Structure formats: structure tokens, C-alpha cells
Structure 1
Amino acid sequence: MSILNSTTAVPNISNLLPTTSALNQSCSPEDEFLSVPFAVFYSVLFLFGLVGNLLALWVFLFLHSRRNSVRVFLINVALADLVLVACLPFRVLYHALGNHWPLGPHMCKLVGNLFYMNMYVSITLLGLISLDRYLKTQWVQGGRGSCGRRWLRSSRWSVVSCGVLWAISLMAVVPMITLAEGNEEQGKCFQYKPRTEARSKAYFNLFLVGIFWLVFVVLLVTYGRIACNLLKASRDRPDLPNAMRYARTAKKSFVVLFLFTVCFVPYHSFRGVYVRSQLSDPPCEVRRFVDRINEVMLLFSALNSCLDPVMYFLLSGSVRKATIQTVSHVFCARTDTTVTTGSSTTEFHKTSQSSTYALATPRGSVGLIPSLHLKTSLEVVPCAQRPGLCDYEG
């Protein structure tokens, strides 16, 4: 009888074990001392990204007169970067409040998934731009079929590609926003989440990592081939008027690869380790370390939204000329009208008209060579016959 009483007096061991939510609360991976630096960095990225992408979108829509596929891609890149930048104030709010989220779980899922969706849309569009340039230099120059030539020379294929990309992205992100994962924490957002009970989301994140590396390989191959062809043309025929421009454009192609590598490669190199830790049950210190590295790498990915407008300005001669011309007209028009008189005023208008005409002509920055009045041929003015090199310098 005493044995039975002692047996019934033993408490249930399962009631003494901590639950999963209790373990998550006792081991918070987030470092509160990093909340202020994160809030400052995201605020800076928001300001520069907002101004830069609004200016780039304004140039592409109202100033950049050339209608081609690359222009369509760049407009969509600027839109994706703007949506990503619009998500940054919510991260600033979260870190400024000491890693506390006051807007509810649905708003957290909306902001977080839109951030990642537009990051990968921007990555894919940059890959499509490089593929577009490479195909034009290879197929159009080789004359492989009039149908393919017309399709590539027009902007229809870029419009269709962007439409399909946005549609697929929205279809993928809507279930992520509407469906519950079961690992949400009250007052938390953008935090480390174990996914032992939500493995599908972890596998989808690994799928996105695979897409990034595919785009990265496409960038390496296409820009590498384009740069090699330009350097070879510049080295074989140094007497051509645009030989030096070919060499400079080839070198600038590696600027795109450098920016892409700096912003995205560190994050996606570590992403596999991060997702693997979410699928297992690592110790608390490992969680903190993985989460800290992931958040720092994510800052570099968000930095790309600020560097894209700088890349447009530095590498595209037509965008650079349109921006500088507009800014100079806005700030210097009144001074120029009071100073210039008579023939000088007439000369100024002629120069302005000629520059506007040069911007509207179907030439890119690669084709702006001094010998425009020479006899047009493939060797003297190759840009006129090479639309893949005229669309986007860099």
C-alpha cells in the first residue's frame, strides 16, 4: 500500500520539462546591444535608397528616351528596390524599440516576406539584364534567324519576362503571408525561428538560395564573355576610333560583378548554415552566433538597393547624360539666361538641342564615339550594328 502511494505521489515528468516556447524565450538569439546600430544602418539605407531609386525611376520613365528591353528591366529593378526600401522603416522601428514588434503578427509576415520577395526579384532581373546583353551580342550579330532577331531587338520579351517574374513571385509570397507557421512569438519579428515544425518554409528558403547561385553563374559567364570579346576587339584593332571605349566598357562589366558579389554572396554563402540550424536543435550559443552573422550579412544585401542607382549612373552613359543635363538645367538655367546674350545664347540652344538629339538617337554610351560623321560600317561604328552593346554600358 505504501508502494502504491509513493508511486502515485511521483509527479509527471512531462509536466516538468520546459515547452518549446519556453525554451525559445529563455534562449533569445537576438543581441539587444546590436539593436541601435541596426536601426542606424537601416535608416541610412532607407534614405539613400529612397532618393536614389526615385531619381532612377524618374529618369527611366520621363528622361531616358530609348525604348529597349534593358530600360524595361531597369524600371522593374528600381520598382523592386523601392518596395524593399519601403520595408526598411519597419526594421528601424523594430530595432529602435529594443527588438520589440508592436504591429501584430500579420504585419510582420507582410513586411518580412515583401522584403525577401523584392530582393530576389531584383537579383533575378539583374541576371536577365546580363542574359539579354549576351544574347544580343551573340544571336543578333550572328544573324541567327529574323524572328529571333526581331524578338530580341524589341522590348516585348522583357515585358513578358518581367510580368511572369512578378506573377510567380506574388503567387509564392501570398501563401507565406496568409498561412501560419506555428512558431510565432508575441511582440517579436525578424527574429531567429526554429523550423522543425515548418520544414517547407526552410526548404523554400534553400530553393531561393539555389536560384541566387544560378543567377550568379549566369552573371559570371555572360559578363565574362562580353568583357573578353570587347577586350579582344580593342586589342586586335587598336586603331579603331572606339577601341578605347571597348576596353573601358569591358572593365566596367566587372564593376557589376563586384557589387553583386559584395552585396549578395556573403549572405547566400552563410544562408545554408542558417537554415540548417533552424532545422536542427542547436545550443543557445550557436543560435546567437548564427543569428548575429545572418543579420550582419542581411545588411549587405539591403545595401544593394542603394548601390543599384549608383551603378546606373556610373555605367550607363545615356542615363548619366540625362541626369546631369536635367540637374544642370534646374540649377543653372536662371544663371545661364542672365549671363548669356546674343550669339552665345544661340550657341547654348544649339548645343542643348544637339545633346538632346544625341540622347534620343538609338545609340548607347558605348557607341558615343567622336567619328560620328565618318562612313558608317561595322568596324567604324560597330555600336550601330551591335544592339547588345548599346543598351547598357557596364
Structure 2
Amino acid sequence: MMAATSADLPTTVPHKEELWSNQTNLTINASESHSNGSCSLEDNNSLSLALIFFYSIIFLVGLVGNIIALFAFLRIHQKRNSIQVYLLNVAVADLLLIFCLPFRILYHATNRWMFGRIFCKVVGTLFYMNMYISIVLLGLISLDRYIKINKSVKRPKMLTTARSVQICCTVWAIALTGFIVVVVPSFFKTKDSNSTKCFHYRSKQNAEKTEAILNYIIVLIFWVVFFLLILSYVKIAKNLLKISRRRANFPNAGKYTKTARNSFIVLIIFTICFVPYHIFRFVYITSQLQTPSCRWTKIIHVCNEVMLVFSSFNSCLDPVMYFLMSRSVRKTVLQLICTKLHGESSLNLESTSDIKLGQYAQERLSTTTPHSSYSRKKSMI
């Protein structure tokens, strides 16, 4: 019995070691296969159809809305104020982002990129560049409105049209510089020059780690802008409601309350479109610096695509913001509609947002009589 057992040992133990060795080799090969980029990230049919549908809707609605808004801005004959300058630049940034969407739609429809690696980099970078230009400009709008309520008497030069033009030029210059820094190195890379993949998850290794660090900085800038918006619009709403309560017996007192509610339109747009994407963005960038399993890579890729749809949706909501925030845009658009439908060439409009924000600081500090306060000219923008 003992001899038989001893004789069996040499054949049994090596068999187990061989199985363990084969399993280890399979694991190593799978890891190497993933690191070499063979993990398939092709979107399934349901995800591709959903992305095609939503991007198509965003493209059509955003294109029409922003072209009408841009037309309305260009039709304004009187001197533009600072907020109109910011809104005009937001419309331009949204249109440039929208022009990138047909390439994404075509890619998800065919699951194949046909325009080369360099153009993939150009389209992808242009998409993100204009998204963050919109974010920064929306933050500047909130800062402008905050200053008009709290600092308009002390710092009037900060609210001038010329100053807002200079700020917008600076924003575009910084964005274009970043665009060049990101895109130009791709002209000198030969790896994957014939790749048919675009807009997909890609790990950041070696020199590309610098790009990942830049992405971290951009995400941090977003959160700074977001908290700036929260503080600004909470302060704006509190001041407007305070004026409304103090002048409750005035004929226009109700407009302050309604304008206080409308002041949160930018914050609402920010929260819906950008907050989900930037919460997940930290996870996405961190995973690019590591080597997650193929399963987790696919999950991260799908989540990123869904969050990006929400960010693109901002280009559809921005025209609504132009209409609510700018009396000139509202009047021009309604004149255009009435001209097409009824042949009318003029329209006299009055709205709750027609109160000039610069007046709020004066209302808050003023001791004028009800008659003189009510007889002031009211215009939002």
C-alpha cells in the first residue's frame, strides 16, 4: 500500500504544477493582451443606436437654436453690454462643438474611423476645447451678474463691454494654445497611424501622462467655476428677494421674485449637463494611468460615452438661456417668428427679466421715493 502510494507521487504532483503553470500563463497572456490594446471596446448595437439618436437630436436642435441666437446677437443695433458679449461667445463655442457631432454620429454608425489618426485628434480636442470655453464663459456670466449687484458702484470698469471683449479674447487665446499643444505632437507620431478607432478609451503611458495631468487640472478648473456659480447665484437670489420684500407694495415688486428664480437658469444648466460628467471624470482619468481589467475598461468606456451625451446636451439648453437672459435676443427672435407667421415687423415685449442688474445695487442702497424708483427705465440686457 505504501509503495503504491509513493509510486503515484511523481506522476500526480507534476500534473498539478503543470495545471497551475498553464493557468498562470493564461493570466499573464490575458494581461499582456489587454495592455497591448486587444481588449475590444466596440460599442454594442443598443449603445451605438442610442448614441446616434441622441447626438442627432442634439445636433439638429443645437444647430438651429444657436444659429438663431447668433443671428439675433448680430441683429442687435445698440451697443452691446458685457453679458451680451459673453453670450455671443458662448453661441460661437456651442456651434463649433456642434460641428464635431456629425463625425461622432458617423463613427458610431459605422464603428470605424475613416479620416486618419490626426483628424481624430483634431475633432476630439476641438470638441472638448469648446465645451470648456462654454463652461468658463458661463462662469464669467455669473461673476458679471454678481458684480453688478454688489460691486457696480465701486468698480464700474469691470462691467464695461471693452473689458468683457478683452476677457473673451484671452479665453480663446488660452484655449487655442492648449489646442495646439495637444494636437501638434500627433503629427510626429507614427504609431497606429492607420487606426480605425476614435473617441474611445485609451491608456496614458509615458509621455501621455502629461496629458492626463492636464486633464486633472481642467477638471479642477470646472469645480472652481461650479462653486463660483453656486455662490454667485445664491447671493444674487438673496439680494433680489430682499428687495422684493422691502418693496412689497411697489407695482413692480413681483418681478424681483421672478427674476430671482430665473437667475438660477445657468446653475441648472451646469448641474444637468456638466456635473455628472465631471464627477465621473476623475475615475476615467485615473483608470487611464493604470491597467484595469478588460471588463472594467469596457464599463468605464460606456459610462464615459453616456456622460458625454449629457455634456453635449448643453448646446441645446444654452439657446434657452439666451432667450431668458437677454431681452434683445428674445425680442429679435419673436419678431422673426411673427414676421414669418403674420408679416409683422415690430413687437413690443415686456418680461420679468427686463430689469437691469445694475439697478439692483442702486435699489438696494437707494433711498429714493417710490415714484422715482418705479419710473426708471428697466432693461435686463
Shorter-chain TM-score range: 0.7 to 0.9
Task: Specify the alignment match of 1:119 in structure 2.
Answer: 131
Whether the 8 Å CA contact 1:49–1:85 is kept in 2: the answer is yes
| Alpha-carbon distance, 1:40 to partner | 1.8
TM-score normalized by the length of structure 1: 0.79
> Closer, same or farther in 2 for the Cα pair 1:152/1:376, shift >3 Å?
farther
Which segment drifts farther, 103-112 or 315-324?
315-324
Letter in 2 for 1:91: R
| Alpha-carbon distance, 1:29 to partner | 2.9
Q: Secondary structure at the match of 1:321?
A: helix
Whether the 8 Å CA contact 1:84–1:119 is kept in 2: the answer is yes
| Alpha-carbon distance, 1:25 to partner | 4.1
Task: Specify the alignment match of 2:195 in structure 1.
Answer: 186
| Alpha-carbon distance, 1:137 to partner | 1.5
Task: Specify the alignment match of 2:265 in structure 1.
Answer: 255
Whether the 8 Å CA contact 1:267–1:300 is kept in 2: the answer is yes
1:38 aligns with 2:44: no
2-side partners of 1:301 and 1:23: how far apart?
A: 29
> Closer, same or farther in 2 for the Cα pair 1:191/1:153, shift >3 Å?
closer
| Alpha-carbon distance, 1:241 to partner | 2.0
| Alpha-carbon distance, 1:54 to partner | 0.3
1:379 aligns with 2:369: no
| Alpha-carbon distance, 1:19 to partner | 9.2
2-side partners of 1:316 and 1:225: how far apart?
A: 20
Q: What are the Cα deviations for residues 326-357 of structure 1, in whole angstroms up to 9, with x where unaligned?
A: 22023211xx7xxxxxxxxxxxx9xx48x39x
Q: How does 1:160-199 map to 2 (within 5 A)?
A: 160-180=166-186, 184=192, 186-197=195-206, 198-199=208-209
Whether the 8 Å CA contact 2:138–2:266 is kept in 1: the answer is no
Whether the 8 Å CA contact 1:64–1:322 is kept in 2: the answer is no
RMSD: 2.8
Task: Specify the alignment match of 1:96 in structure 2.
Answer: 109
Alignment size in residue pairs: 340
Q: How does 1:252-331 map to 2 (within 5 A)?
A: 252-331=262-341
Letter in 1 for 2:342: C
Q: How does 1:121-136 map to 2 (within 5 A)?
A: 121-136=133-148
Q: Secondary structure at the match of 2:373?
A: coil
Q: What are the Cα deviations for residues 346-377 of structure 1, in whole angstroms up to 9, with x where unaligned?
A: xxx9xx48x39x99xxx971259xxxxxx886
> Closer, same or farther in 2 for the Cα pair 1:183/1:249, shift >3 Å?
farther
Q: 1:109 aligns with which of 110, 121, 131?
A: 121
| Alpha-carbon distance, 1:21 to partner | 7.3
Letter in 2 for 1:186: S
Q: 2:66 aligns with which of 53, 59, 64?
A: 53
2-side partners of 1:381 and 1:162: how far apart?
A: 35
Letter in 1 for 2:167: S
| Alpha-carbon distance, 1:315 to partner | 3.8
1-side partners of 2:148 and 2:353: how far apart?
A: 14
Which segment drifts farther, 116-125 or 40-49?
40-49
Q: 2:39 aligns with which of 2, 6, 27?
A: 27
> Closer, same or farther in 2 for the Cα pair 1:304/1:128, shift >3 Å?
same
Letter in 2 for 1:122: S
> Closer, same or farther in 2 for the Cα pair 1:391/1:365, shift >3 Å?
closer
| Alpha-carbon distance, 1:116 to partner | 0.1
Q: What are the Cα deviations for residues 278-316 of structure 1, in whole angstroms up to 9, with x where unaligned?
A: 000111111011111111000000000011001222343
2-side partners of 1:244 and 1:183: how far apart?
A: 64
2-side partners of 1:76 and 1:367: how far apart?
A: 21
2-side partners of 1:270 and 1:224: how far apart?
A: 26
TM-score normalized by the length of structure 2: 0.82
Percent identity of the aligned residues? 46
Structure 1: where are the runs of 5+ without partners? Answer: 1-12, 337-348, 369-374, 385-389
1-side partners of 2:29 and 2:261: how far apart?
A: 62
